[in-house]
A and B are shown apart, each in its own frame.
Chain A
Amino acid sequence: MIAEAKKLQFRSTSKGKITDKIAKIIFMSATILSASFIFVIAGIVLVRGVIPFTTDNLGVGRVSLFSFLTGDIWLIGETFASNLYSIGFIIISTLFITLLSLAISFPVGVLTALFIAKIAPKPLAKVLRTVIETLASIPSIVFGLFGAGVILKLVYDFSALIGYQSKGGNSILSVVIVLALMTIPTITTISEVAIRSVDKSIEQGSLALGASKTQTNFKVILSSAKSGIFTAAILGIGRSLGEATAVSLVAGGRRAGISFDLLDTTSTLTTIMLEGLKETTGIDYDIRFSVGLVLMVVILLTNLLLNSIKRRVGVVNVKE
């Protein structure tokens, strides 16, 4: 009887061990599968992205990497010469647009977060939080359609008002507005969490010194939450840089020459990858992977830069 019980116990533990092992293998394969996608995707983008620079592209001619990265003309289509594929001006306008949209979405997002976390009465804060989260989950194509249907008209009317003939409102300004609308929810949600997690005792310490609520919010709470707020900005920038669908509906598609004119048409790295996609062979297709490669590098570099800044502002800064 006792021996039997022991046997049973033994069996059950060894069975447990086997289940653990199987579970471990399943978890590990899931992890390997998901992690390997990044290598597969990056690999394919890399392999296809270098084709335009290493082959003569079925007779069109080899693309020069230098002129690709620095030139200011982008004329896709296989009949064109290989030296007409260049994205220097598009890299710059992409960064310019991202920066401008952040200049709108960052202050608006952070102030909204402050309002929700610290100022709004609890029931209102709850409603606002849901609204912002819903806004964050709206598909980008919907933002794009809204941009095409509403913002383009507004920008067109505005430019007409100041005596400027814009191309149906397709412009840097429209792109900036659409991107700002799309990134505000991201920035708000993450900043709000950061602001809410600031230790209450710090807030009380400030109020007990006779600081007003506004002084406390701006001087103590925001500076205590700055690391999280910075993360919000990084994610907002990531979304701006990577957004294609919505942007391509309002950008207008610029083919040549850099322009910082807010009412002029523009292109970004993502829109030129999306635009005019027809064949899945040849230079016209492969060159999009090269652009994708550039975009990935731009995002990587931006993140590295921002993270190094974040580390520096994370340390206490002293104003003398």
Chain B
Amino acid sequence: MKQFVEGAFSIENLTLFYGNKLALNDINIDIHNKQVTALIGPSGCGKSTFLRTLNRMNDLIPNCKVDGSIYYGEENIYSQESDVIDLRRRIGMVFQKPNPFPMSIYENVAYGLKCQGIKDKNILQAAVKKALVDAALYEEVKDRLKESALSLSGGQQQRLCIARAIAMSPDVILMDEPTSALDPIATAKIEELITELKKDYTIIIVTHNMQQALRISDYTAFFLMGEIIEYGKTSELFSHPKNPKTEDYITGRFG
């Protein structure tokens, strides 16, 4: 009997096709609650595709077929009854390139809540402030909440996108190479933030940066050609990889 945990994923026989192209092949892993799980692997290996199955963002791609099941808590998110809008409210996402809306800083963070139908100004203001504080951005922007989000630096924009996601009080935050467009200092800030956030959220992060995976994650999954080659505790996977392909990749012999 399987144990269901809120905020954790259990993926069974997940297969995904783009048209005729097999992008994910029989994925079976459990993702742990309130841990950081890093997804690593060379470009085109399916790690971002996998991440996007978790909040069903692949639904937006025509000709994308998904087989198998993903249990989020005890709900199969690919079943007929599953409500994708509700799912995405519970599972936040941060993208590769910071993508703030062309609105004010305040409006960016309040956006998701407003879409949910929350109109009370006091609730919104409190939620926006809390999200900005949690995303370690509040001190930098508290005097200019009404200014355009596009006036922020790249690193600040990315933290704003994290604030926007956590304003919805999700259980999970998916991050798709969140620091690949940022400079080292901004990257360090985001990494620090991720370590802070994992106290409250399950974090799944796609990264190209092996050092980053090693620094911030508790678990690591290594993807190759749409399959998971190895999955386990980060410390073990990096120090004693079981599969020679994993070793080749993490030691930089290919990819």
The chain A residues found within 8 Å of chain B, CB to CB, are 199, 201-202, 204-212, 215, 219-220, 223-224, 315-316, 318-320
Contacts and interface: CB of A to CB of B under 8 A. Distances in A.
Nearest to B111: A209
Nearest to B83: A210
Given A210-B116, A318-B107, A319-B107, A205 B161 contact: yes
B107 A209 contact: no
Q: How large is the interface on B (under 10, 10 to 19, 20 to 34, 35 or more residues)?
A: 35 or more
A315 B104 CA distance: 10
Identify whether the interface residues of B are mostly helix, strand, loop, or mixed. helix
A212 B93 contact: no
A320 B125 CA distance: 10
Given A205-B164, A207-B60, 20 more contacts: A199-B99, A202-B101, A205-B93, A208-B92, A208-B93, A208-B95, A209-B89, A209-B92, A209-B165, A210-B89, A210-B112, A210-B116, A211-B112, A211-B115, A219-B114, A224-B102, A316-B149, A318-B103, A318-B107, A318-B146
A223 B147 CA distance: 16
Given A207-B88, A210-B168, A220 B101 contact: yes
Contacts of B57: 204, 207-208
A205 B101 contact: yes
A212 B85 contact: yes
B115 A209 contact: yes
B99 A201 contact: yes
Given A209-B168, A318-B107, A219 B115 contact: yes
26 contacts: A201-B95, A202-B99, A204-B60, A205-B93, A205-B99, A206-B111, A208-B57, A208-B92, A208-B93, A208-B95, A209-B112, A209-B164, A210-B85, A210-B89, A210-B115, A210-B116, A210-B168, A211-B85, A212-B85, A215-B115, A219-B111, A220-B111, A223-B101, A224-B101, A224-B102, A316-B102
Contact of B88 (A208, A223, A320): A208
A318 B103 CA distance: 7
A315 B146 CA distance: 11
B139 interface: no
A42 to B, nearest CB: 38
Identify whether the interface residues of A are mostly helix, strand, loop, or mixed. helix
Contacts of A215: 115
A297 to B, nearest CB: 35
B86 A210 contact: yes
Contacts of B231: none
Given A207-B88, A208-B92, A210-B112, A316 B165 contact: no
B91 to A, nearest CB: 8
A283 B148 CA distance: 56
B37 interface: no
Contacts of A212: 85, 115
B55 interface: yes
B71 interface: no
A210 B88 contact: yes
Tell which of A206, A210, A219 has the most Cβ of chain B within 10 Å. A210
A223 B60 contact: no
A152 B45 CA distance: 65
A206 B101 contact: yes
